Amino acid sequence: MNRTILLIAMTALALFAGCNNKQHADLIVHNAVVYTVDESFSQAEAFAVKDGHFIAVGTNDEILQHYTADSLIDAKGAPIYPGFMDGHCHFKSLGETMIRYADLVGCTSFDEVIQRLQEHAAKHPSQWLLGRGWDQNLWPGKQFPDNKLLNKLFPDRYVAITRIDGHMGLVNDHLLQLMHFDSPTGLLLDAPYDSVKAAIPRLTRQEQCQALMAAQQACFANGLTGVSDAGLSVEDILLIDSLQQRGDLLIKVNAMLNPDERTLQHFLPHGPVHKERLAVCSIKLYADGALGSRGANLLEPYSDDPDNRGLQIYSLCYYDSLCRMAYDAGFQVCTHAIGDAGVRNILHAYSSVLKGSNDRRWRIEHSQIVHPDDFHLFGENNIIPSIQSTHATSDMAWAEERIGKRVKNAYAYQRLLQQNGWVVNGTDFPIEHISPLYTFYAAVSRQNLEGQPVGGWQPEDSITRQQALRSITCWVAKGYFEEDRKGSIEKGKEADFVILEQDIMIIPLKEIPSTGIRRLFISGSEVPVK
Ligand SMILES: [Zn+2]
């Protein structure tokens, strides 16, 4: 054999071997703009996925030369991000709302209310017909409705439709009789309407399953691969676990525990749980109410209600004893605190247990109004602010009326972020819209969907696009101790990712909220976004 032939033979052999050496993956995605959201915020073009995890991330050449897969996606230059996560929401209650209540928000007449109710009634033939969200201020004449039409159309069903603020409802005569109430119009306020709400039967197990599946689909449609549900009972969590194990519920859930005895006794003795799709590692507490209804606990009275400083829900020793219990069991504490007094109480309760630098990642949910003297306590005790950036743009129209100059230290997301170098972000849905793109947009622009105000509201507390992307991906994972498993597109991590229609890191701000979700993957498997 002469030299040339030998060389050719060796080259062929090398090529053949190279071919055979290609590692097999389940899925390859290439020709993309991949925001890995790793430590250095690097970009890539392609990645390979096997057994639900990223096994390689790199350039098109690197991935295509070294890997083969049955499934190959050419992203055609589309941007890809880690799957979005909501760090504070009410996943289960979103589902219940979706399957149970006719959505009456935005109806511009009582006729439209009736029409939507009839559509809902046709789809939900249950004995109770429920709706929520009507507002007579949007109707011609702005008159409160009566129940005559409800009696005529639904004589055999119990009908209750709740006003937008939740404090008033319209019920039909059939339901009035059941409740032994007398009302000529069917309109009920606070206490009587609360007893109507209390009489609504609990969802059956099957309905609860439907609700969770409906909530999951809404999350998928918005690019979410994970949610942190801020307060669930042991029954709720066991149901979610069983649906996940059956393969019905694919979304990843971080379940915060309601502080009731049954729930705590079930979970605390065994320590935090980190399963494939379910985490249970925190207890959810409430320090105070909300700003809109003047329930937030303030150090000084409300600017528009001089005799009122809001409410503190429990005595300080309640928080102290629950915090110590959580600490000893290795659990995190996540406490809802809105007013500056509520936030201060919780900062002090946490600090006296945490005693300075630590990695317990105890959180203050909302952290909405913070006294300027108190910001440093977040950093000194590694207390993590859990923010909802759309709260700033939803509340900006009236927040100053409530709290006057204190508003300058409210929704102070950049200052809060500086305390520990990271924050958890979310929506509190169904209070706010579910979309993480709205969260991203509000965090960066400090504007509402109409682009107001120009330049943004208190823009010094906006956060950068890079920070905002971290706040809905890896920082949410970090917020429940799973940043080594998810929240970024890196070798070894779970292959949760979203392909968008446009690149939210570079397009004009106003285009962000309407950006389409093209495809979504959880642990390497595609899930429907429509
Ligand atoms: Zn909440």
Same domain, residue pair 320 and 400: yes
> Which whole number is the average pLDDT over 133-141?
88
In a domain, 266, yes or no: no
Q: What is the distance in A from the centroid of ligand 1 to the CA of 228?
A: 10
Indicate which CATH number applies to the domain containing 432.
Answer: 3.20.20.140
Share of residues in the chain with pLDDT > 70 (%):
96
Q: Which of 222, 219, 292 is nearest to 251 (CA)?
A: 219
Same domain, residue pair 70 and 29: yes
Q: What is the distance in A from the centroid of ligand 1 to the CA of 147?
A: 33
How confident is the model over 197-237, as pLDDT tens digits?
899 998 999 999 999 999 999 999 999 999 999 999 999 99
Q: What is the distance in A from the centroid of ligand 1 to the CA of 265?
A: 23
Indicate which CATH number applies to the domain containing 171.
Answer: 3.10.310.70
Residue 266, helix vs strand vs coil: helix
Last residue of a domain, one of 199, 216, 248: 199
> Out of 85-89, 102-106, 297-301, which region has the weakest mean confidence (pLDDT)?
102-106
> For residues 375 and 373, what is the distance between their CA atoms, to the nearest angstrom?
6
Same domain, residue pair 318 and 417: yes
pLDDT at 430 over 90: no
In a domain, 204, yes or no: no
Q: What are phi and psi of 508, to 5 degrees?
A: -55, 145
Q: What is the distance in A from the centroid of ligand 1 to the CA of 302?
A: 22
pLDDT band, very low/low/confident/very high, at 353 (cuts 50, 70, 90): very high
Same domain, residue pair 420 and 510: no
> Out of 28-37, 95-104, 339-348, 459-468, which region has the weakest mean confidence (pLDDT)?
95-104
Mean pLDDT of the chain: 94
In a domain, 1, yes or no: no
In a domain, 255, yes or no: no
Q: What is the distance in A from the centroid of ligand 1 to the CA of 475?
A: 18
Indicate which CATH number applies to the domain containing 527.
Answer: 2.30.40.10
> Which whole number is the average pLDDT over 150-168?
91
CA torsion 6→10→16→20, rounded to 10°? 140
In a domain, 215, yes or no: no
CB 172 within 8 A of CB 147: yes
Q: What is the distance in A from the centroid of ligand 1 to the CA of 145?
A: 31
pLDDT at position 313, please?
A: 85
Query: pTM score, two decimals?
Result: 0.89
Q: What is the distance in A from the centroid of ligand 1 to the CA of 287?
A: 12
> For residues 161 and 142, what is the distance between their CA atoms, to the nearest angstrom?
17
Q: What is the distance in A from the centroid of ligand 1 to the CA of 199?
A: 24
pLDDT at 18 over 50: no
Q: What is the DSSP letter of 302?
A: B
> For residues 189 and 330, what is the distance between their CA atoms, to the nearest angstrom?
44
Our count of domains for the chain comes to 3
Q: What is the distance in A from the centroid of ligand 1 to the CA of 366?
A: 8
Last residue of a domain, one of 199, 222, 255: 199
Same domain, residue pair 70 and 97: no
Q: What is the distance in A from the centroid of ligand 1 to the CA of 103?
A: 20
How confident is the model over 491-525, as pLDDT tens digits?
999 999 999 999 999 999 999 999 999 999 999 99
Where is 120: in which H helix or E strand?
helix 110-123
Last residue of a domain, one of 199, 219, 239: 199
Q: What is the distance in A from the centroid of ligand 1 to the CA of 168?
A: 22
Strand order in the sheet with 158-163: 101-103, 128-134, 158-163, 168-171, 187-189
Q: What is the distance in A from the centroid of ligand 1 to the CA of 232?
A: 11
pLDDT at position 20, please?
A: 60
**Structural domain boundaries enclosing 42:** 16-77+485-530
In a domain, 253, yes or no: no
Write the burial class of residue 502 (CB in 10 Å: 0-12 exposed, 13-18 middle, 19+ buried). Answer: middle
Same domain, residue pair 43 and 94: no
Where is 519: in which H helix or E strand?
strand 517-522
In a domain, 265, yes or no: no
> Out of 244-253, 297-306, 309-318, which region has the weakest mean confidence (pLDDT)?
309-318
Share of residues in the chain with pLDDT > 90 (%):
87
Q: What is the distance in A from the centroid of ligand 1 to the CA of 107?
A: 26
In a domain, 473, yes or no: no
The DSSP code sequence of 412-462 is -HHHHHHHHS--EE---TTSS---HHHHHHHHHH---TT--STT-SSGGG-
267: Cβ–Cβ under 8 A, 6 or more apart, which residues? 234, 237, 257, 273, 280, 331
Same domain, residue pair 99 and 188: yes
Q: What is the distance in A from the centroid of ligand 1 to the CA of 389?
A: 13
Q: What is the distance in A from the centroid of ligand 1 to the CA of 473?
A: 19
